[in-house]
Amino acid sequence: MPVDLANLMQNVHDYFLNLYSVHDDTGDRRTFVAFERIGLTIPLSQFKRSPEDTAFSPDVAAERVAAIVNSMTGISADAFGDTPMKVDDFYDMLLIGATPRTGDEPALRFFADLLAQAKKDFSWAVRASMFLGGPQFHQVQTTPSDWFDADTMGNWTLYQSSIDSPQAPRAPGLAPLSLKVATWKLDLDLSTIMNGLRVSPLIRSKVDPTMRRIVSEDPALTGSARQRRAAAAARAMAVAPGGAPTKRARSAVTLFAGSHIDLGSKFILEREIAKEVPTEKVSSDSFKMSFQYCMVKVDRPWLYQPFLQNQSWYVPGHRSGTFSDGRVQDNSGQFPAMPVAFIAIKDLSITANWSIKDADKAQAAAGLGPFSLAGSTFNGTTLSSTDIQIIGWICTILPTLPPATDPALPK
């Protein structure tokens, strides 16, 4: 039953929210967990100067991580909602537009000093790209810094849950996940991906050459959905419970898992694809789940909190709360939240009393719940994936931004 898996996912959600829990002085929860629609796979070669290198590069990793965590998000536990704005671009806009309200001379000087310090911190954090033609970026710090190294055992903690596990304590008023989180995420025809995605021309220019190369290497990806389902059904019939694992063919949804598209573009693309994939309910029961996780905390030293929390400024042409109204519930702002941590996992294992229909999907679907099934194996009993993927984000609600309304606007 889908409720079985949904309960497991609710446990995962509440576990990580309690692991990283921040409250303001009113007792309101200021953070929330937003799952990816389909986990974002992490090509480890992207953290090296060259794919052939044996060692990771801290400088390359710093640039990749800055791109990974630079998305603003809407407020929803069911899916990480990319907004068109990046965190550093949004902050830059605030710094450019911040205008002090009229006040006495000491108050104006104080705000001028705050703004000057914020601009100084922001400019000092700019780094040049390690790659020819790459854009500048604002460096962030992650804890642990080497979270992408699967062999650093001290970074990883075992999580296990089954339908019989006790539920994690829940905060008052915390809304449950919808059942749509606990569904199969099916694959898409390649033509849909190539022609139907709403991405910028810049991203499209990066994507098209990779698509053509991958298609030439794996023409089976262009097969119809019916052909792929038939192939998956044949594989499912050939796998007895406890038998030898069957390695999945490459999914059209995860075309770019091994490509050298920069991670920022890769994630934009995968999220757009994940929005389009059809879903189907899960018909199996008796689920058990385990994985190793790393909670990666994100610090932006250039994000000057005294400036953001100050109440004495406005942005010309905008009303107070246009970008965030500061509320946890029903925040109507355009850019209400940003990620402060993410949940990376590896060594995913899901066992269940699989129905025949679900055993088919275990070998053909792009994802199950927030988990990517790219490169996974299925032996009739256990669905497994060893790869590192990001399944969710810890996000924080931004304060009221801008804090004041432009006095030139009509009342």
Q: Any idea which of 90-94, 234-238, 278-282, 370-374 has the lowest mean pLDDT? A: 234-238
Give the pLDDT confidence score for residue 210 in this predicted structure: 54
226, 198, 263: which is closest to 41 by C-alpha?
Answer: 263
| Site of tokens 């994940």 | 274
Q: Which residue has the higher pLDDT, 335 or 172?
A: 335
Predicted confidence (pLDDT) per residue in 367-396, tens digit: 998 999 988 999 999 999 999 999 999 888
Give the pLDDT confidence score for residue 85 in this predicted structure: 78
Give the pLDDT confidence score for residue 239 in this predicted structure: 47
Give the pLDDT confidence score for residue 364 in this predicted structure: 83
Instruction: Examine residue 410 and state whether it is found in any structural domain, yes or no.
Output: no
Give the pLDDT confidence score for residue 209 in this predicted structure: 55
Confidence category of residue 254, pLDDT binned at 50, 70, 90: low
Q: Domain range holding 377?
A: 2-397
CA distance to 11, 248, 336, per residue, from 174 (Å)? 13, 37, 18
179, 184, 185: which is closest to 10 by C-alpha?
Answer: 179
For the cut 80, the answer to whether the pLDDT of residue 289 exceeds it is yes
Give the pLDDT confidence score for residue 130 in this predicted structure: 87
Predicted confidence (pLDDT) per residue in 198-208, tens digit: 555 555 555 55
Determine what percent of the chain is predicted with pLDDT higher than 70: 72
Rounded to whole angstroms, the Cα distance separating 348 from 346 reads 6
Predicted confidence (pLDDT) per residue in 214-226, tens digit: 555 555 444 444 4
Instruction: Examine residue 181 and state whether it is found in any structural domain, yes or no.
Output: yes
Main-chain phi, psi angles of 194, to 5 degrees: -70, -30
| Average pLDDT value for the chain | 80
Instruction: Examine residue 103 and state whether it is found in any structural domain, yes or no.
Output: yes
Instruction: Give me the number of domains the chain comprises.
Output: 1
**Over residues 126-138, mean pLDDT:** 89
Instruction: Examine residue 338 and state whether it is found in any structural domain, yes or no.
Output: yes
| Site of tokens 């044996």 | 54
Instruction: Examine residue 149 and state whether it is found in any structural domain, yes or no.
Output: yes
Instruction: Examine residue 403 and state whether it is found in any structural domain, yes or no.
Output: no
Give the pLDDT confidence score for residue 235 in this predicted structure: 43
**Over residues 111-139, mean pLDDT:** 93
Contact status, residue 181 vs residue 34, Cβ threshold 8 Å: no
Give the pLDDT confidence score for residue 183 in this predicted structure: 87
Instruction: Examine residue 405 and state whether it is found in any structural domain, yes or no.
Output: no
Instruction: Examine residue 404 and state whether it is found in any structural domain, yes or no.
Output: no
For the cut 80, the answer to whether the pLDDT of residue 124 exceeds it is yes
Give the pLDDT confidence score for residue 44 in this predicted structure: 86
Tell me the two tokens of residue 377.
């194996």
